[in-house]
Chain A
Amino acid sequence: MEKRVVFRSAWLPYALLAPQIAVTLVFFFWPAAQAGWYSFQLQDAFGLRTEFVGLSNFAALFRDANYLYSFKVTALFSALVAVMADRVVRGALAYKTLLIWPYAVAPAVAGVLWAFLFAPSVGIVTYALRQAGYDWNWVLRGEQAMLLVVIASAWKQVSYNFLFFLAGLQSIPRSLIEAAAIDGAGPARRFWTVVFPLLSPTTFFLLVVNVVYAFFDTFGVIDATTQGGPAGSTQILVYKVYYDGVKAADLGGSSAQSVVLMLIVIALTVVQFRFVERKVQY
């Protein structure tokens, strides 16, 4: 799309663009280029010497069992969050205000709230679970730590999904539903044969968004609760980039992971954009 009417000036558009371009260059292209450069280098433990090692950082990365494991954890985690967030909100129509505020809660804060509810010794939910005869201790058990992180992240993401489903539901023409009702379809039948298929673009869009959310925004939840533990069971990719780069001071390895992450994000963005272009309906 282009404007028919435009203004002419030799310098003004450049001046208007300058701030954004400057910030983008300094804080975006420069670091991104450095990430690309570092990912081919190996730094010694004291940062005194760097040598060019070509692709071996990438090769080491894919040999590293932990890295592959964190891929698996991320995939599993995304799927869980997406499906849970999906299931919880479908069918709700009103009560908007009461349901949307968790969107405003920082992921780290959401993590702390749930960590407190599930705290091994003082948590109120832990107490209830113990009364029911179930031994709960996410500090020691990997699968429970995972469950805690998933619950906290899903809780926060429910409001977002809710809003989009609501918008999707409201855009369905009333006449379609009325026509189905006149033909004698009950509420459940109407939902599955009319409403649900028409919601599929929204569902698909949310699926992509939730995957992106699980990849990146859950960093806060994880760092505030499990910190990747116990034994790497909740170590997602972004957390590993942070841990290797900051805590373990392995700049080359961390940068190589950044590059892999960048490729994943680009792939996800392409999927999302193709969807937006086409507005698929199944």
Chain B
Amino acid sequence: MVENRPWLTVLSHAVLLAGVALIAFPLYITFVASTLTHQEILQVPMPLVPGGHLWENYSQVLTAGSHAGAAAPVGRMMLNSLVMALAIALGKIAISIIASFAIVYFRFPLRNFFFWMIFVTLMLPVEVRIIPTFKVVSDLGMLNSYVGLTLPLIASATATFLFRQFFLTVPDELAEAARIDGAGPMRFFRDVVLPLSKTSMAALFVIQFIYGWNQYLWPLLITTQESMYTAVIGIKRMITGGDALTEWNLVMATAMLALLPPAAVVVLMQRWFVKGLVETEK
């Protein structure tokens, strides 16, 4: 701080605490609701301290789903979400790191053409071309499969650009030295480029994991079998319409389960998360 003003420090802490409280309030209510019984939630106003049914609710949704809405176990959905998030994150990293290596470290005919082909995909999020993409995937017979769930979302240029920007900052002397020592391009890629890209890969992983886990529209279209639902879709299917009919305690338990893994990734890998966020937007 530039000068010492105690009241200002107090004020900023008060503002921040209020901000944190506002941000955390829905989460707290969700947690409380997930520990109550259906009857306890229906009494207005609902209790504001956690009840004693935490274990019951969570094991109910994990193994059997809700009573009134969809009866698919959330445990299976969490697994689907995990597969989807990991496949998208790792798939994007793998595909784009080799593509950008080719674009940066080689000169070949049509190089710029390929570059622009990848570049234009930046402009069109999945939501825009959703119906035709759905048609293509169903023509290829990929509905209700992990491939159909993940592969179309891997086609994105963000990661390719991030790696390209990074490779351009790698000193030329390294490639020179590798060539003088007689290393071929793949040897150079494995021994120099990959180790150098570790932080970029970690940053990208955090961003893409969250992106994959939180996908909504695509799995909504592509999955018709309950065994292929992701956790985010599962919540939606549990809401039956009508406030009193929906088992909010089970819905809220599922919501907690669906938001904990990505939140944990963000909080635990905070450093790479911030780095990834700032760099993918450049």
Contacts and interface: CB of A to CB of B under 8 A. Distances in A.
Contacts of B186: 12
Given A97-B267, A124-B29, A105 B102 contact: no
A187 B262 CA distance: 38
Contacts of B118: 20-21, 24
B117 A13 contact: no
Given A114-B26, A122-B244, A258-B131, A13 B106 contact: yes
| B contacts with A: majority SS | helix
Given A27-B151, A101-B267, A19 B99 contact: yes
A274 B205 CA distance: 28
Contact of A23 (B29, B151, B221): B151
B263 interface: yes
Interface string B163-195: 000001000100110010000111010000000
Interface string A145-184: 0000000000100111001100100000010011001000
B198 interface: no
A3 B111 CA distance: 14
B20 A95 contact: yes
Nearest to A185: B2
A104 B210 contact: yes
Contacts of A276: 282
A16 interface: yes
A119 B247 CA distance: 13
Contacts of A265: 123-125, 128
Counting contact residues on chain B (CB < 8 A from A), the size range is 35 or more
B243 to A, nearest CB: 4
B129 A35 contact: yes
A245 B130 contact: yes
A114 B30 CA distance: 9
B259 A31 contact: no
Interface in A204-231: 205, 209, 216, 219-220, 223-224
A124 B232 contact: no
B64 interface: no
Best-surrounded residue of A3, A159, A261 (most CB of chain B within 10 A): A3
A156 B221 CA distance: 24
Interface stretch (A49-57, A62-70, A74-82, A86-94): A86-94
A17 B262 contact: no
B155 A106 contact: no
Interface stretch (B38-46, B51-59, B70-78): B38-46
A38 B134 CA distance: 14
Contacts of B41: 122
B279 to A, nearest CB: 11
A235 interface: no
A110 B274 CA distance: 21
A203 to B, nearest CB: 14
Nearest to B188: A7
B155 A24 contact: yes
Given A92-B19, A246-B221, A209 B151 contact: no
A280 B11 CA distance: 32
A113 interface: yes
A244 to B, nearest CB: 9
B146 interface: no
Interface in A1-29: 1, 3-10, 12-14, 16-17, 19-21, 23-24, 26-29
Contact of A224 (B20, B213, B235, B270): B235
Interface string B267-282: 1001001100110011
B131 to A, nearest CB: 4
A254 interface: yes
12 contacts: A1-B168, A12-B185, A17-B114, A92-B12, A106-B258, A109-B259, A119-B248, A122-B243, A128-B45, A220-B216, A241-B128, A254-B131
Given A93-B16, A108-B235, 17 more contacts: A3-B175, A7-B188, A13-B106, A23-B154, A24-B121, A34-B136, A38-B132, A91-B12, A95-B17, A98-B23, A99-B19, A101-B267, A106-B258, A109-B214, A116-B251, A174-B2, A223-B236
Interface of B: 2-3, 5, 8, 12, 15-17, 19-20, 22-24, 26-27, 29-30, 33, 41-42, 44-46, 48, 94-96, 98-99, 101-108, 111, 114, 117-118, 121-125, 127-133, 135-137, 140, 151-152, 154-155, 160, 168, 172, 175-176, 179, 184-186, 188, 210, 213-214, 216-217, 220-221, 232-233, 235-236, 239, 243-244, 248, 251-252, 255, 258-259, 262-263, 265-267, 270, 273-274, 277-278, 281-282
Give the 5 A-B CB pairs with smallest separation, nearest first.
A31-B132, A106-B214, A104-B262, A16-B102, A220-B216
